[in-house]
Structure 1
Amino acid sequence: MTTFTTHTLDTAPADAKPILQAALKGYGFLPNLYAAMSEAPAILEGYTTLSGIFDKSNLSATERQIILMTNNRLNGCEYCMAAHTTLSQMAGVNEDTIEALRKGTPIADPKLEALRQLAIAMNEKRGWLSEAQIEAVLAAGYTRQNILEVILGTALKTMSNYTNHIAETDLDAAFVPNHWTDPTT
């Protein structure tokens, strides 16, 4: 089997080092996802840049985590489910919402559930949404802008989930308390 390197600041390619140093400063540790992505500095830069752009969307922290965690679950990314559970907790996302996202069950808030359903449809149908699916999320109070922002979050998770799958990224100690196992594997 092909193995991928989980780089350190010392072993990472030069173009990845400034991004890794910023991550170390921001998180207090170097996330293994970033260490794996640093093999290709362009994906690391793309992921961190896109993450920053997604944070500027018109969606709340809870809404962004709904999109990210829904994609993590659907893509079976154990690393990202644990990481985003931790990030959701830090952002003050309701524990019942986090638990629903981890289990793939409905969220009690109808508007947030409509967003979760949109994220599911976007992932599973690869963007080929029906008019009824679009109208349902608009009726729940979201906008066309928000629909496009779901695509942004889905793209972000494709980058990290797929990297974790091929690199078999080890879970960081900070995320171990929120370990998640994909029930479909």
Structure 2
Amino acid sequence: MASYSQHTIESAPEASKPILQGIQKRLGFVPNLMATMAEAPVLVESYMTMMGIFDKTDLTPTEREIILMTNNRLNGCTYCMAAHTAVAKMTGVDPGVLEALRKGTPLADPKLEALRSFAILINEARGWASEDEVDALIAAGYTKQTVLEVIAGTALKVLSNYTTHIVHPPLDTAFEPMAWTAELAEE
């Protein structure tokens, strides 16, 4: 099987270098996933662009993380679960919500649980939501826009989750305290 390296700014393809420089400036380091994505400039640019766009939704940071972490868990992405646990903590996601997302258990807040359930549906049904299922999300207090934003978040996670399944980036030291496995979800 092909092995993939984590590029540095210096070793990255030319088109990836400015993207990695931007990540370094923003985060203070280049996470191994993005360093590996840099092998394909279109992938790292797509991922970073979509992340920036997804942050512009009308969703709160907690709601965005519900969509992203639900997809990470369903897709079995250990790297992304750890990374998004760190992001969720930095953006102030309630610890109870974060624990439930890591375990895949229902959320106590009915509105947030409706969002989590809809994110599960979109992932597992590959977007084939019925009118009743869409209406249930809207009845929980969300909008037609939210329905489409869940799809955007799911698409974003396809990029990172599928990449990690192929390239196996090592977990960054910064994310090690938040390491996650499917077995942890079953505890």
What CA RMSD, in Å, does the superposition of the two structures yield over aligned residues? 0.9
Question: In 2, distance between residues paired with 1:114 and 1:49?
Answer: 27
Aligned-residue offset at 1:180: 0.1
Spell out structure 1 runs of 4+ moving beyond 4 A.
Answer: none
The equivalent of 1:181 in structure 2 is 181
Give the alignment of 1:94-173 within 5 angstroms: 94-173=94-173
Instruction: Say whether residues 1:16 and 2:29 are aligned partners.
Output: no
The secondary structure found in structure 2 opposite 1:30 is coil
Aligned-residue offset at 1:171: 0.5
AA aligned to 1:106 is P
The C-alpha deviation readout for 1:50-73, integer Å capped at 9, x for no partner, is: 111100011111000000000000
List alignment gaps of at least 5 residues for structure 1.
none
Question: In 1, distance between residues paired with 2:116 and 2:30?
Answer: 30
Instruction: Say whether residues 1:63 and 2:54 are aligned partners.
Output: no
Question: In 2, distance between residues paired with 1:48 and 1:25?
Answer: 13
The equivalent of 1:25 in structure 2 is 25
AA aligned to 2:169 is T
The equivalent of 1:41 in structure 2 is 41
The C-alpha deviation readout for 1:12-60, integer Å capped at 9, x for no partner, is: 0010000101111111111011101000000110110011110001111
The equivalent of 2:76 in structure 1 is 76
List alignment gaps of at least 5 residues for structure 2.
none
Aligned-residue offset at 1:10: 1.5
Identity of aligned residues (%): 60
AA aligned to 1:49 is T
